[in-house]
Structure 1
Amino acid sequence: MPRTVTVVGGGLAGLTAAIAAAERGADVTLHEAHHDLGGRARTAAAPYRTNEGPHAFLTRSPHWAWLNDRGLVGPVPPLRPGDVRGIRFHHHGALRRTPPLGLLRLLRFAPEKVPADADFLSWASWRIGEETARATANLTAVVCFHHDPGALSARFVQERLLRITGFPPEVRYPRGGWQTIVDRMAARARNLGVRVETGSRIHSLTDLGAGTRTGPVIVATSLAAARGILDDPSLTWPSGRTLLIDLAVREDPRDALALSDLDVPGYFERFTAQDPTLAPTGEHLVQAQVPLAPGAPRDEALAHGEVLLDLGLPDWRDRATHRRDALADGRTGAVDPPGTTWRDRPAVDRGGDVHLAGDQVAAPGVLSAVACAAALEAVSQALGRFRPVPGFRPPAPRSAVGSPAR
């Protein structure tokens, strides 16, 4: 008989866990509190297909290969040479085409050779000077979503620095927004026999029927939700606090593709440069991301974000056709303080056949890859001694069109 697996949460981690468990022949039920799957990977409906949060795929992550092998990525628009030329940097109050060249000296350090017990600013300042080190730290805010990346673990920041400065760039966005990935994953799960229960909010494990539950549970939610479900106050880890500005403007050839602030952490990117289908013809869809310190007023980040838009999108207020502001507090993944690594985050195995998955869990990776790695580890632990149903074979993997695995 197949082993029963219960997954709580229908975001990327939950869908990954459900698919991986079903591929091994488990009998899987997935509970999602909302009426739609996807969690923070949901995409708003047309005409402005904005993401519910800051997201990006890094093509050298195992998560990308795992999705791509199953045909779940779909078409991914290629980067054109002109796209890279549209990137700008705000440094010393002026717009520049390149970041400080001194940061190149840091790129020869592999993350495992960088100390985890030192903060990045101190470690980098000793090598390239404090001014360039601070600008380099602020550059990584695009993947740290933190108001002071220089105060984080040197190893943590160095890994992210190497990922965003690689060439060719590995950042990719799926055509149609992240919702297209969610929809493919949901279809894959259902085709494998996963029972998907939407509108099913789980407040504690007793809601699953403690007396009748016969298999493992994978809690694939935010840490805040997992604390309540598992009644475990120890499930905490620092994250970022980031203001998001989603903006659509009528096209102007002067618009920058992306602009990163090296003086104070902040960033914006024009998503329609890769995927024009995200907005009506003739319009750009932009998302600005401005990290905000704990307790700092939201208006402070809002003002900074609008300054960045002024610098990179001339006369954007006169061209704006859509705008939405949102604050993502503790929803942008884990950040590792000095003296910690990803191994110090809340463990996947919680004991009692209960496992944890998500982007703030003890699993390696960058951005969404952490959630995927945690989910696959949870399935491995849950079904480690379970033998698949005799004769079971998962569907043969296929490569996504135009998106070779790396």
Structure 2
Amino acid sequence: MNTPITVVGGGLAGLTAAIAAAETGAPVVLYEAHRTLGGRGRATPVPHVAHEGPHVFYADGPHYRWLKKRGFVAGLGFPSIGAAVKIGFRADDRIRKAPPSGMLRAQSRKWLQAPVDVDFHSWAADRWGDRTAAQIANAISVVTYDADTGRLSAAFVWDLFQRVLGPAVPAVRWVRGGWQQTIDRMAARACALGVAIETGSRLDTLPTGGPVIVATDLDSARRLLADDTLCGTSGFTALLDLGVTKDRRDRNLVFDLDAGGFHESYTMQDHTIAPTGESLFQLQMPVRDNESRDDAHRRLAAFADAVVPEWRSRTTFHRTATAKGRTGALDLPGTTWRDRHAIDRGDGVYLAGDMVAAPGMRGEISINSALTAAAAAVAAAGTGARRRVGTV
């Protein structure tokens, strides 16, 4: 195979597509607009390694098998045996050790099938009441970054809720060193396969002369492909990263059932991402309609007061940010992932990323869509590849 495959974008989707295509023997060129690879998988440099929002892997899908087979998620971190893992749920403005009884009843109903064409709040309120419906929606805002998760498709929200907070043991995995470790391993694998990587190369026109995989965010893809239909629904949240001196009063994990906030300690399972004697936390708070960023950050700081006592006097690392359009597609009533933007755009152009027609949540959509795009691009380039794109 002599026809090159071009990948535009060097984030999780772009690296996956480049590796998958190169593994068949296809020549691959990857263009990344920034000077470093990684996209939303990038992290701040040591000693405090923080990401743009919660970054974990779930080990219950084909995306994870693909990563694991190639060693990209080796070296997992877990809370140490015997460590005090303090999990909490904020309800009615107080922190409690367990979810309210109504939410517990809902969690146990894993066999229920929620409808696609009804909003989640209406469907859940009919079964457990308005208060429990709102609490479930707020609990899963950690995934959606949306202050009104209840407006989304009932099937979409219910599936996420059962996957993250259902009765089954969560399949969550943390890679020591964070996602940056995974990104670095993927970049090394791409180079070893002969992928030509051009960083600091922003493309304004679509390359010609072979299949092209556009693995950028949807806004960039819309401009590059001159396709105004490439729009999607995604979340908007305020973020707060805190490095603080350790304190036994701190909580490790808190779901805010009142307002959709979320708090997590990343040093609980990976002490390498902060200096000795420190804890690294990330908190988020969905931004409400017509709410300013400053007001959202004030609500987030008040949440931090409840879960990281006296954090202002203990802070060694502090970063605030907002993340908009960073959650992958959020499915509105009447839609599923199959209704999102098609991967095959025609004329040898393929779309990969977290807002296209592939299953999963957030980064999983990127990986699954990239594997599909790579297989199609290899097939379009010719039949001379040594083997097919591997899915696992």
TM-score, L = length of structure 1: 0.91
The reply on whether 1:220 has 2:221 as its aligned counterpart is: no
Q: 1:347 aligns with which of 342, 348, 367?
A: 342
Task: Give me the whole-angstrom Cα distance separating, in 1, the residues matched to 2:154 and 2:237.
Answer: 21
Match of 2:22 in 1: 22
Letter of the structure 1 residue corresponding to residue 205 of structure 2:
S
How high is the sequence identity, in percent, across the aligned residues?
A: 48
What is the deviation of 1:110? 4.9
Q: Secondary structure at the residue paired with 1:273?
A: coil
Match of 1:292 in 2: 287
Match of 2:373 in 1: 378
Match of 2:296 in 1: 301
Structure-2 change in CA distance of 1:277 and 1:100 (3 Å): same
Match of 2:33 in 1: 33
Q: Secondary structure at the residue paired with 1:99?
A: coil
TM-superposition CA deviations, 1:107-159 (whole Å, max 9, x none): 43457x32111111111111111111111111001111111111111111011
Match of 1:402 in 2: none
Task: Give me the whole-angstrom Cα distance separating, in 1, the residues matched to 2:272 and 2:64.
Answer: 22
What is the deviation of 1:363? 0.8
Match of 1:103 in 2: 103
What is the deviation of 1:389? 3.4
Contact 1:47 1:280 in 2 (8 A): yes
Structure-2 change in CA distance of 1:394 and 1:71 (3 Å): farther
Letter of the structure 2 residue corresponding to residue 92 of structure 1:
D
What is the deviation of 1:74? 2.0
Q: 1:257 aligns with which of 248, 252, 265?
A: 252
Match of 2:177 in 1: 176
The reply on whether 1:389 has 2:385 as its aligned counterpart is: yes
Contact 1:279 1:285 in 2 (8 A): yes
Match of 2:195 in 1: 194
Q: Secondary structure at the residue paired with 1:332?
A: coil
Q: Secondary structure at the residue paired with 2:280?
A: strand
What is the deviation of 1:184? 0.3
Q: Secondary structure at the residue paired with 2:22?
A: helix
Contact 1:151 1:337 in 2 (8 A): yes
The reply on whether 1:156 has 2:153 as its aligned counterpart is: no
Q: Secondary structure at the residue paired with 1:288?
A: strand
Task: Give me the whole-angstrom Cα distance separating, in 1, the residues matched to 2:66 and 2:88.
Answer: 33
Structure 1: runs of 5 or more not aligned: 398-406
Match of 2:329 in 1: 334
Letter of the structure 2 residue corresponding to residue 189 of structure 1:
A
Q: Secondary structure at the residue paired with 1:247?
A: strand
The reply on whether 1:273 has 2:268 as its aligned counterpart is: yes
What is the deviation of 1:332? 2.3
What is the deviation of 1:388? 4.6
Task: Give me the whole-angstrom Cα distance separating, in 2, the residues matched to 1:266 and 1:55.
Answer: 16
Letter of the structure 2 residue corresponding to residue 222 of structure 1:
D
What is the deviation of 1:393? 9.6
Task: Give me the whole-angstrom Cα distance separating, in 1, the residues matched to 2:276 and 2:256.
Answer: 29
Contact 1:176 1:278 in 2 (8 A): yes
Structure-2 change in CA distance of 1:169 and 1:81 (3 Å): farther
Contact 1:239 1:332 in 2 (8 A): yes
Contact 2:43 2:49 in 1 (8 A): yes
What is the deviation of 1:174? 1.2
Letter of the structure 2 residue corresponding to residue 162 of structure 1:
Q
Match of 1:145 in 2: 145
Contact 1:92 1:263 in 2 (8 A): yes
Contact 2:53 2:284 in 1 (8 A): no
Task: Give me the whole-angstrom Cα distance separating, in 2, the residues matched to 1:8 and 1:317.
Answer: 42
The reply on whether 1:131 has 2:131 as its aligned counterpart is: yes
Contact 1:55 1:367 in 2 (8 A): no
TM-superposition CA deviations, 1:248-273 (whole Å, max 9, x none): 11000111001111011111111110
Task: Give me the whole-angstrom Cα distance separating, in 1, the residues matched to 2:123 and 2:81.
Answer: 34
Aligned ranges 1:56-71 → 2 under 5 Å: 56-71=56-71
TM-superposition CA deviations, 1:266-312 (whole Å, max 9, x none): 11111110111111101111111111134320122111111111111
Q: Secondary structure at the residue paired with 1:303?
A: helix
TM-superposition CA deviations, 1:67-112 (whole Å, max 9, x none): 001111120112456668411111012111111232344343457x
Letter of the structure 1 residue corresponding to residue 246 of structure 2:
E
Q: Secondary structure at the residue paired with 1:157?
A: helix
Contact 1:238 1:335 in 2 (8 A): yes
Structure 2: runs of 5 or more not aligned: none
Q: 1:369 aligns with which of 356, 364, 369?
A: 364
Task: Give me the whole-angstrom Cα distance separating, in 2, the residues matched to 1:256 and 1:292.
Answer: 23
Task: Give me the whole-angstrom Cα distance separating, in 1, the residues matched to 2:41 and 2:231.
Answer: 22
- The size of the alignment, in residue pairs, is 388
Structure-2 change in CA distance of 1:293 and 1:184 (3 Å): same
Structure-2 change in CA distance of 1:338 and 1:121 (3 Å): same
Letter of the structure 2 residue corresponding to residue 55 of structure 1:
H
Contact 2:378 2:385 in 1 (8 A): no
Contact 1:2 1:25 in 2 (8 A): no
Contact 2:89 2:257 in 1 (8 A): yes
Match of 1:50 in 2: 50
What is the deviation of 1:64? 1.4
Q: 1:237 aligns with which of 226, 232, 237?
A: 232
Contact 1:56 1:367 in 2 (8 A): no
Superposition CA RMSD, Å: 1.9
Contact 2:371 2:389 in 1 (8 A): no
Structure-2 change in CA distance of 1:368 and 1:74 (3 Å): same
What is the deviation of 1:50? 0.9
